[in-house]
Structure 1
Amino acid sequence: MSTAPEHTPTRIAQHDARTLAIDWADGARSLFDVRALRLACACAECVDEWDGTPRLAADDVPADVAPIGLHAVGRYAIQIDWSDGHTTGIYPFARLRALHGEASPSAANGDGNGERLRS
């Protein structure tokens, strides 16, 4: 478990209908396209636990999928309930921050300071 500022969220909220925003303790902001975040689920239902092969096909996730619930998992992760019925994915903060690093800059946040994971 990391308590480094880059792995510590200060705020997690719906930015708009298609975007989840995470503000980090080091001042960074991540904007995640919610469908891309659903597709990034690494639970055993979505990714083979032995070899890491994806089990979830992009075509299996509705274009309008959305988070309907967020739950803290200790002090290291969130669990997201999705509108497609998926509820087993746990998103560790370190993984979310790594996904932030893979994101491309987006003007969608209005201030140019965030990065967005796109589907």
Structure 2
Amino acid sequence: MSKPTLIFVSLLLFPAFLLSQKNDLEDTTRELSVKFMGWGCDCPNWCEEKNYDYFFEHRDTSVSTQKLIEKYCFNLTPSSSEVEIDWDSFYSSSPPKTIVLKGAFYRELQDWPGDDRTIRCRVFRYTSYHFIEE
């Protein structure tokens, strides 16, 4: 392959490579216990259980709520329709149940469609889940 052809092919493939990286998952599979935050906005609505109390203790301090959301909150997406969370069961208890998920975070922030706008946030792609009764 000639040098100009190689450069041309590289220039064509490089954008595709960059776009594919956006959807890459972290190499580490995690098990997370998550709680629903229930924001009244198009914000990420999930937080690890271990950070839940810390988040609420510090949301009215000098650290802005938006920065706390960016650091501790994320959205969930199933790896397939077979592992979609049974939302009727989730919402049937008060307070809502804790969910234990197995999966991985996307390496990059993802576009997440909201009611009013699209946001960029962390997204956890889960492969399995179960509820913990409170």
TM-score (norm 1): 0.26
Which has the larger Rg? 2
TM-score (norm 2): 0.24
Using CA pairs under 8 Å that are at least 6 residues apart, name the structure with larger relative contact order, 1 or 2.
2
